[in-house]
Structure 1
Amino acid sequence: MADKLGGLLRGFRDEAGLTQEQVAERSGVSVRTIRRLESGSSTNHRMGTVQLLADALGLGEQDRARLAATLAGSPGDPVGPTAPATTTAPDDLTAAALELATEVRRRWRREEAQRRVHDPFPLPVRWQAAPSGLTDRPENIQRLGPGGRSQEVDLGGDLRAVAEVYRRIPSGRLVILGRAGSGKSVLAIRFTLDLLAAPAAGGRVPVILGVGSWDPSTTALRDWLVARLLRDHPHLARRSARGATLAAALVDADLVLPVLDGFDEMAPGLRREALEALNATSSPLVLTSRRAEYADAVGAAHAPLVWAGAVELTDLTLDDLADYLPRTTRAHLATADTAAPAEGRPAEAHAGAWDTVLARLRRARDAHDPRGADLAAVLTTPLMVILARTLYSDTPGRDPAELLDPTRFPTARSLEEHLLAGFVPAVYRRRAPERDAGGRRPGAPFADPARAERWLGHLARHLNRLDHEQRDLAWWQLSDSLSRRSRSLAVVLATGLSVAIADWLLCLLLSPLPGFRLLLQGTLLGLAAGLAFGSVYALADRSRSGAPLEPAGVRLTLRHGPGGLGRRPLRTFAIRAGQGLFGGAVMGTGCALALTTERAVASGTRLADRWVVEGTLIDVLVFALTFGLAAALVFGLVAALEAPVDVTAAATPAVLLASNRSTVGRQFLVLAPALTLAIALTGRLLVQLLRGSLDRRLEWEFWDGLLIGAVGGLGGATAYLLAFTAWGQWLLLARIWLPLTGRLPWDPAAFLDDAYQRGVLRQTGAVHQFRHLRLQHHLGGRCGRTPPGLGPGPAAGA
């Protein structure tokens, strides 16, 4: 196949009368790559490269089809921008692409339903061609060769025709611009679903990705795309026939169409570099951004997104509002509440609640009435219209005519703040909880608006205070909302309590001690272990600069597939063993000091006595070596037995949380007995070796050693999992510490899911996001406080 492909390329180049250097200059592909392709020495043919060469040679559809058929080894589809060579993909890639398309379709259909986009009908989001300074030249967008004449491409349209407009762009690259709340994300969702509903032959799978989390200064675009796919679709972690993950194989085969949402959410200093990185690629993509931020990046990079058409969303009109808002009110809403409708109006009057507002807006348009001009300016974006609809149409007893009060809302800014402030109280009305798929009724819903707003404010502040715009709200990152000192203190208390409880229970069962000695020994051991684990945790936390622990993506197995960690067993073993040696030595030292102190207090001996000091030093040596070597051996072997988890279900926060809970449980079942036996046997062996070297009689009875090992195994395994796994940190900090301080409810996962069901959050793979970035900023700035002059209103008390 390589020889046939090379012969075809040479023939097409000869017909065009071009040298390899000229083709390289036109296509951006290196001369070395072209030579390898034409000579047949390259066995890894990337469709993007072949497509660039086809464009540079000016090939027609028939010649492109011949290239695609040769590349696939059978007749195939053309190599145009809407038809990457799916025929070249093996069966596992084809199946993975179909599965990915199914997941993406299901996820964003559900998101549209959560947003109530189609109730009663989608808002008429429209756009026009962007200014010439923000788009590439027409001949470049159409990928024409030298001397080619560009034809005018109509990029105007509305929400119903976004996929059709995209297909008019030969390059397959589109930029969607708009101001805050103008509907860019809704348009990206509708584009994705429309493209999936009527895919082109062999078309790419559109995948919406929040580009705000990409740092182009440290991560290549391809690597970031693969990482996002693995996070949001973990079944793509399976290995393809060539050994790469399915996510990497799909990206490399040009079977993924990135829909990069939120370019403006990137850190300002990274936008130029991001645009330059995108310009270094030729693959089709869609990019959404606010106009000003994108224009700044274009100016800094001295070029727009190359080969890309650009459109800019336009404002909603008064006619749009007149068609939409009245149909969002239902007469029965006024009777759904036990309270009487506002001002004694009959239930039917609620259906015309927007008539007064619309009449004033018409007068403001026709006679330049300043009292309605501010509201007219506010209600030009879908975001503000949806907030107004939620606050008034969906809330019994609320009259939208209050928006016309110039005393209460003297500026457009005050109107926007009012709508943002009223959104959470409006959606957190009390309602009966629905049963889940298993018929179980969940606990009481989170219907207290004040507390819900305080909890959401904490989450929003956590995202807003990061170094740059951050939208992904991941359950394993909630611990990062606490200070490093608070996290370390929580680890000290939790690990100390774990070891103390293990000692008390095991001593009661296996080695009864007087009550005072039992309490004292467990307390001292817990204190020593807590300080040891807390110190190690603080050092590790500082070394990773506060970066949250990622969810465990491994399982324990005696068998390794091609993607196992066994490729570098010595390095993995050495790293984990070194960590275990240090941590175990610190814990063993603390335990030796604690046991010596307990014996001295119980016998009334002074700690300063010479024989006590000498015995303490020997005990410290023995315990430090015992615990350190045992921990190094166990953690090193466990690391060597780890392999990636093969998750076949679609990723959701709940699925990932449950998966990691199971992983941590299995790790405990391995670590606890392994540490127990390792400590018991290592201690006995060390005592036998040191007995002749030290001028002191050493004893390590089997049952005593087993008891010490059991305390170290059960307590140490529990403490380790609480301090050094993502699920343990979630349990300790998000389920216990944050609720104790009132910053989160006792069941954060249920609260996040409830907020998603109410439309405050959206779900993107394994993470949540606030529905709107402006809502996130508003809640993060307020932190649950009500602005002056804004009362709770009827919705808050509902």
Structure 2
Amino acid sequence: MERGTENRTRNRWIAVTCVLLACCLLYALRPGQGAESLPDRMGVVGMLLTALTLVATAFGVWATQRAGAVVDDVVAARQLSRAVALAEPMSPRVLGGDRVVADVTYSFRPYAHARGAALPLAPAGRLGGLVADYQALRPRRLVITGQPGAGKSVLARSFVAELNKSRADGDPVPVLIALGDWEREESFRDWVVRHLVRDYGRSWKRARQLVDAGLVLPVVDGLDEMDRAEVPLAESRAQSALDALAGYQEGLEPAPLVLTCRTDLYDEFEASGRPMLDAARVEIDPVSAEAAAGFLSRRAGAAYRQAVWAPVLDELRGRPQGMLARSLSTPWRLVLVATAYEQANDPGELLACSTREEVGDTLLGHFIPSSVRAVTGTRSRYAPEDVHAWLGTLACGLQEQGGGTTDLVLPELARSPGAVWARRLYAVLVGVLALAPVVILMSDGDTDAVMWGLSALLVVLGAAGLRYLRSGGTGLWGRADFALPPWGSPLWRVGMRLAWSGRGRWAVCVAALWPVLVLWRVAAPQRFGGVENLPMTAAMLFTPALFFVLLTAYFLGSAAVGPSGWPRTGAFFALIVLWPTVIMVLLSRSAGLGPTVDLLVLSMFGSLYCALGGPMAMYTCWLLVNCRRLPFRLSRFLEWSRTAGLIRVTGAAYQFRHREFQEWLTRHPVPARPAPAAHPATAHPPTRTTTP
């Protein structure tokens, strides 16, 4: 009942706003009354457009605050479950780009602490049975440990997907969250709420409602990536995180939780006497040499190039405890081998390596070129050298933020410690947009109330834009639940269906009154109440398209769109601001008002955009500062890297495929010259050339 009252109130406010603005416009432009000259009409149109923008902004803020305030817990959990299912797809490239995948097995380890969880009577011990084993735990707290590259993150993602698929109404929704950005000052419960907002498009009230109701199961990844190696265990952020997890409860009972960690680090926590209480621990088993050989032999690359792969497979089967077998004992390393030598290169060069580190460097040296080669024919094609250099720049940037940072969140790039020049450029831009027109207006001796009011408006907009330089500033249109999918995506059809169904239908119909009235007034003949201005009609035809795109995107969540939807949203709002700017500049040119008026118009709407979308403007400044080191369309490149298997996505953050890959890029940010293949006759057949 309360929800229906809220919808009716919202629709009434929309209707009243549209009717009032339409009446003002019709009165101001009516022949024989109101504004007669073209400059006066231009001023009226500009004020109405500005008023509409401010009203839309206020409504957006109000809708953000009120969204989901009163929603049934089961319904809210069901909506989050759908968002998680869309946000955490298992990319084929993550599994090596083939139907053949490495079998991940695990075993329960005795918990060192007396307060351990009760284990299942007959553990499955395999990837497909982890959900059943977890549901048999009492309490439902699980720690997944394994060696680096053992597949902890893949196992966690698979667990989230399978548990989310089989959950019933009333069960908690599994949510995968990277632990890298947690700080000691923030409670774990607040941290989970923040990630539900940022990564899965929930409103603050609805996210807190779900957490307080116990309908969120945090699957926390990356405990071992929070600190540098030299940090003492007792003073580490990881130990503080474990202490915070111990206090994460539902009443007097420990809240359900899943945690991943490297084996040796968690052994240290157990030895220190401060592991996570009331939990069970599973250890991911190493991949045996026979299983590794079987995995590689069934791959398409080995099937087509049996002679090239035979020495490596024989080494694995003949020396199951040898250096190569120990180096390829994790799913991550096996996927690296399969990717590096699937289509080219000679895997026999691994036999010449003497250490596991040398094997890793050799595999990672082929990883980027082989991944680029595997996605040949896609729309976005990049040179391997450029891909290596760009990813190396991003990896070094994460290294500057701290050794435990793994999340690459686009809105936060301009706030990183190394983005000082980007923030300075943004401050200069906002200052020029706000103060330069004020200086021009005040230089004219004949100033009136309109000039003073316009100057005050510009100063206020500039101050609103500068507030984003603070670390806690967020944009009005940088909401987590508002992001645009790529053009041509089937999500647009989903958004249109949502916009035209149920409670959204009346809001769409009422809100559509504004662009319809404006177009009618401009395009209709004079005997029907219009001005029949064909040039203006052509300019105004863009209004319905922007309007329907805006409403359609409003009903889509960022979890469905992904982290690349945020820059796309900023560009769309730039287009919305550019539309009235172009119209007013054209009117000014036709009236012969001179460049001063054009400058005022451009400055006013530029300041308005910075005030509404400051984080997007800061991100653009960051791209301009780094244009020689990174592609300007960075989000498009990162999406391509995700397709290539070099980058993965967790909620609203990009992450490198593996921590070993990220650390290797920090050591090798610039691609080295390609070395000659070990067996060029087999790996790279000579190409016949002709002399002209």
State if a TM-score over 0.5 links the two structures.
yes
Give the drift of 1:745.
1.4
1:725 to 602, 614, 617: 614
Residue 220 (1) aligns with residue 187 (2): yes
| Alignment match, 2:361 | 417
2:332 alignment partner, one of 379, 383, 387: 383
Aligned-residue offset at 1:290: 0.6
Once residues 308 and 715 of structure 1 are traced to their aligned partners in structure 2, the CA distance between those partners, rounded to angstroms, is: 59
Q: Cα–Cα, structure 1 residues 671 and 299, in superposed 2: closer, same or farther, change >3 Å?
A: farther
Q: Spell out, residue by residue over 1:340-388, the C-alpha distance to the aligned partner (whole angstroms, 9 max, x if none).
A: xxxxxxxx751454322121223323xx7xxxx2211110011111000
Structure ranking higher on relative contact order (CA contacts 8 Å, 6+ apart): 2
Deviation sequence 1:695-714 (CA, Å, 0-9, x none): xxxxxxxx999987864553
Offset at residue 280 of structure 1 (A): 1.4
> Is it true that 1:486 corresponds to 2:421 in the alignment?
yes
- With over 3 angstroms needed to count, the CA separation of the structure-2 counterparts of 1:768 and 1:257, relative to structure 1, is same
CA distance in 2, matches of 1:323, 1:789: 30
Aligned 8 A contact 1:153 1:169 in 2: no
What is the rounded CA distance, in whole Å, between the counterparts of 2:661 and 2:400 in structure 1?
15
In structure 2, relative to structure 1, the CA distance for the partners of 1:502 and 1:780 (3 Å cut) is farther
**Inter-CA distance 770–548: structure 2 relative to 1 (3 Å threshold):** farther
Q: Give 1:749 shift.
A: 1.6
Partner of 2:142, secondary structure, is strand
CA shift for structure 1 position 275: 1.0
Any residues of structure 2 matched to 1:261-660 within 5 Å, and which?
261-267=221-227, 269-281=236-248, 282-300=254-272, 302-330=273-301, 350-351=305-306, 353-365=308-320, 373-393=322-342, 395=343, 397-405=344-352, 409-429=353-373, 433-434=377-378, 442=379, 445-480=380-415, 483=418, 485-487=420-422, 490-491=425-426, 494=429, 541=469, 544=471, 552-553=477-478, 648-651=556-559, 652-660=562-570
Distance 2:423 2:193 in 1: 33
1:210-249 equivalences under 5 Å are 210-215=178-183, 217-234=184-201, 236-237=202-203, 245-249=205-209
Report the CA distance between 1:491 and its aligned residue: 3.7
- Pairing 1:677-716 to 2, within 5 Å after superposition: 711-712=599-600, 714-715=602-603
Task: Give the direction of change, closer, same or farther, for the CA distance of 1:722–1:782 in structure 2 (3 Å limit).
Answer: farther
Matched with 2:17 is none
Deviation at 1:430, TM superposition (A): 7.5
Read off the aligned partner of 1:106 and give its amino acid letter. L
Deviations 1:509-532 (A, max 9, x none): xx9xxxxxxxxxxxxxxxxx9xx9
Checking the alignment, whether the CA contact within 8 Å between 1:472 and 1:769 is kept in structure 2 is yes
State the distance in 2 between where 1:778 and 1:455 align.
14
Tell me how far apart the structure 1 counterparts of residues 286 and 603 of structure 2 sit (CA, whole Å). 62
The 3 A distance-change label for structure 1 pair 483 and 717 is farther
Q: Secondary structure at the match of 2:381?
A: coil
Deviation at 1:187, TM superposition (A): 0.8
Contact 1:653 1:767 in 2 (8 A): yes
Tell me the residue number matched to 1:259: 219
- For residues 620 and 363 of structure 2, what CA distance do their matches in structure 1 show? 36
Q: Deviations over 1:204-226 (max 9, x none)?
A: 111111122211x2111111111
| Distance apart, 1:259 and its partner CA | 0.6
Q: Distance in 2 between matches of 1:103 and 1:486?
A: 36
Q: Gapped runs of 5+ residues in structure 2?
A: 1-68, 249-253, 445-457, 481-552, 585-590, 688-692
- Give the letter for the 1:224 counterpart: W
Q: Any unmatched runs of 5+ in structure 1?
A: 1-88, 143-150, 238-243, 332-347, 435-441, 512-528, 556-644, 675-702
Q: In the alignment, is residue 113 of structure 1 matched against residue 92 of structure 2? A: yes
Moved more, 422-431 or 219-228: 422-431
- SS of the counterpart of 2:138? coil
Taking a change above 3 Å as real, the CA distance of residues 484 and 766 of structure 1, as seen in their structure-2 partners, is closer
- Decide whether the 8 Å contact of 1:205 with 1:256 is kept in 2: yes
- Aligned residue for 1:296, secondary structure, equals helix
Contact 1:375 1:412 in 2 (8 A): yes
- Post-superposition Cα deviations, 1:433-468, rounded to whole Å, max 9, x if no partner, equal 44xxxxxxx5xx233111110000001111122134
**For 1:669 and 1:220, how far apart are their aligned partners in 2?**
44
Which has the greater radius of gyration?
A: 1
* 1:712-767: CA deviation from partner (whole Å, max 9, x where unpaired): 55326526745971111222321x3312xx21013212111110110111122222
**Correspondence for 1:104 among 75, 84, 96:** 84
- Per the normalisation by structure 1, the TM-score is 0.56
User: 1:432, CA displacement in angstroms?
Assistant: 5.1
Which among 553, 571, 576 is matched to residue 661 of structure 1? 571
TM-aligned CA deviation for residue 190 of structure 1: 1.5
Residues 136 and 304 in structure 1, CA contact (< 8 A), matched pair in contact too = no
| Aligned-CA RMSD value | 4.2
- Tell me which of 744, 765, 768 is aligned to 2:654: 768
1:264 is paired with a residue whose SS is helix
Contact 1:476-1:550 at 8 Å conserved across structures: no
Structure 2 CA distance for partners of 1:778 and 1:706, relative to 1, 3 Å:
same
The alpha carbon displacement at 1:790 in A equals: 8.1
What residue number does 1:749 align with?
635
What letter corresponds to residue 731 of structure 1 in structure 2?
T
Q: Encode CA deviations 1:505-563: one digit per residue, 9 max, x unaligned.
A: x99xxx9xxxxxxxxxxxxxxxxx9xx989x96x985x64xx786674469xxxxxxxx
Aligned amino acid, residue 656 of structure 1: W
For the residue of structure 2 that corresponds to 1:193, the secondary structure is helix
Given that 1:275 and 1:297 are in contact with CA atoms closer than 8 Å, whether structure 2 keeps it comes out as no
Quickly say closer, same or farther: Cα 1:449–1:136, change in 2 above 3 A: farther
1:18-40 CA-to-partner distances (Å, cap 9, x unmatched) read: xxxxxxxxxxxxxxxxxxxxxxx
Give the 3 Å change call, closer, same or farther, for CA 261–330 of structure 1 in structure 2: same
Q: 5 Å matches for 1:730-741?
A: 730-734=619-623, 736-739=624-627
Report the 3-state secondary structure (helix = DSSP H, G, I; strand = E; otherwise coil) of the residue aligned with 1:111.
coil
Q: What secondary structure is seen at the aligned counterpart in 1 of 2:305?
A: helix
**Gap change, CA 1:98 and 1:790, over 3 Å in 2:** farther
Give, as a single letter, the amino acid of the residue that structure 2 aligns with 1:233: Y
Aligned residue number for residue 668 of structure 2 = 782
Q: 1:759 to 1:782 in 2, by over 3 A?
A: same
- When normalised by structure 2's length, the TM-score is 0.64
